[in-house]
Amino acid sequence: MARPQGESIFPVSLLFAVALVTALVLLTLAAAPVVEAQTLTVIHGFHGSPDGSAPWAGLVRDGAGNVYGTTTMGGESGYGMVFKLSKMGSGWTLDPLYSFPQPDQGQDGAEPNAPVVIGPDGSLYGTTTMGGGNRGIVFKLTPPPTVCRTTICPWNETVLYRFTGGEDGGNPYSPVILDAAGNIYGTTQSGGTANLGVVFKLTPTGSGWTESVLYSFTGMPDGSQPESGLVLDAAGNLYGTTADGGAGGSGMVFQLVPSGSGWTENVLYSFGPMDGYAPFGSLIFDRSGNLFGTTAYSYSGDGTVFELSPAGGGQWNFTNIQFLTSGAPGVPGAVGTLLMDNSGNLFGTTFEGGLPGCGLGFGCGTIFELSPGAGGWTYNLLYQYTGESDGGFPVDGLTRDSRGNIYGAGWGGNSGNGVVFELIP
């Protein structure tokens, strides 16, 4: 049984998904049982305007411990923003770095759905799904040139590329990555030769940036509609996932290998009836070169955590290391990227699942840990959202500080606009 082409965990649009989750949160606030929050602390609750709403994406941390992220909605104009959270004494202070304006016929972006990444110069790089001609952009945010003496210090935005929705791609839902030479890589969900998404590269030039399409997806048995970002290995190969396509129509894991004449795609794994489907999150590497990722659904539960290990000769071995069963069968589980600590433990979230009675009985999401051992992996449920002040429905991945504390974002919260949290395992 293949997942139909084009099916998404959010079946109509992002705005529909936000409205759906908001309704679930409001119902949950009236019905959810009170559960002790354990060691999860909300360090910021969003209010819509001017500080943002719907933190869809994961977070990143800099060397000073500041946390950066995006909201898909809210901000000064309601079309999303980039923010910074800084530790101030016993609390945190939010600095709205940039608010995306109302779309203006082909200029700035709108509705960022992906995390930002920190470049070697301290600038932030990211994407918006809409704006820039309605097909999204790649942008760069640069800190102010002089020391800011106030708590609110807007950064300067540069639009690096505007997608057209043609062969160059369109509507990126994923973050970008940078290589050592300063080139930028990413994916788009639409556009390309078959309008099923592309892998792109932006190369800096003297006058700006030049885009090249490394690969256009074609559908079954190839992939389609990538929503994840990319990872780069030491040899310069790129790896990612597509939410649809593959031999079984359930998504796949791919590798792109550079050559003198272009890039060659290798399908490392196509998901099938028994091993999960719809990988929305990005992949991560461990120190041994193994890949780890998640699927949002499985036919026996709520998604999976999987591992792909190189077996030589271009072959990879696939292992499902955990079937997630934290909620009712068929509800979306892990839709974000995993986090790995220095000991090889994996941390992740599920969009739904957890406490019965929360989110119309499907649960408001969980945070989990997987620890490797001689007999396999051990699953540990770290936190179950209540859907109250702690929010819920976490979409993307987590980040971690040097003390092992975990940071992430979710929807809901006291105002219904989302939260950023800290979890001490």
pLDDT value of position 416: 93
Which amino acid is located at 153 in the chain? C
State the pLDDT confidence band at 38, using cuts at 50, 70 and 90: low
Tens digits of per-residue pLDDT, 361-384?
889 999 999 999 998 999 999 999
Question: What are 71-100's pLDDT values in tens digits?
Answer: 999 999 999 999 999 998 889 999 999 999
**pLDDT top residue among 129 and 20:** 129
Q: What is the pLDDT of residue 301?
A: 77
Under DSSP, the state recorded for 283 is P
Among the listed residues 412, 408, 409, 358, the one whose alpha carbon sits nearest the alpha carbon of residue 384: 358
User: Once rounded to an integer, what is the mean pLDDT over residues 173-182?
Assistant: 97
Cα dist. 342→113, 285, 404 in Å? Answer: 28, 12, 10
Q: What is the pLDDT of residue 189?
A: 97
Return the percentage of the chain with pLDDT > 90, whole number.
Answer: 76
DSSP code string of 10-28: SSS-HHHHHHHHHHHHHHH
CB atoms within 10 A of CB 195: 19
Confidence band, pLDDT 50/70/90 cuts, at residue 150: low
Q: Bridge partners of 304?
A: 295, 323
**Percent with pLDDT over 70 in the chain:** 88
Residue 330 amino acid letter = G
226-262 core/surface letters (b: 16 or more CB in 10 A; e: else): bbbbbbbeeeeebbbbbbbbbbbbbbbbbbbeeeeee
Coil, strand or helix at 206: coil
pLDDT at residue 13 tops 80: no
Q: Could you report the per-residue pLDDT of 261-295, keeping only the tens digit for each?
A: 899 999 999 998 788 999 999 999 999 999 999 99
DSSP codes joined into one string, 302-320: S-EEEEEEEEETTEEEEEE
Residue type, 243: A
| Cβ 217 vs Cβ 197: under 8 Å | yes
User: What's the sign of the alpha-carbon dihedral 95, 101, 107, 108?
Assistant: positive
- Mind listing the pLDDT tens digit for each residue in 87-145? 988 899 999 999 999 876 568 999 999 999 999 999 999 999 999 988 999 999 999 88
Q: What is the pLDDT of residue 106?
A: 65
Q: Which one has a higher pLDDT value, 153 or 118?
A: 118
pTM score > 0.75 for this model?
A: yes
Measured between alpha carbons, how far is 114 from 133 in angstroms, rounded to an integer? 19
Alpha-carbon distance of 226 to 25, in angstroms, equals 28
pLDDT of residue 165: 96
pLDDT above 80 (res 152)? no
pLDDT of 335 higher than 80: yes
Contact 282, 293 (CB under 8 A): yes
Euclidean distance between CA atoms 224 and 245, whole angstroms: 5
Task: Map residue 185 onto helix, strand or coil.
Answer: strand
Please give the Cα distance from 334 to 233 (Å, whole number): 24
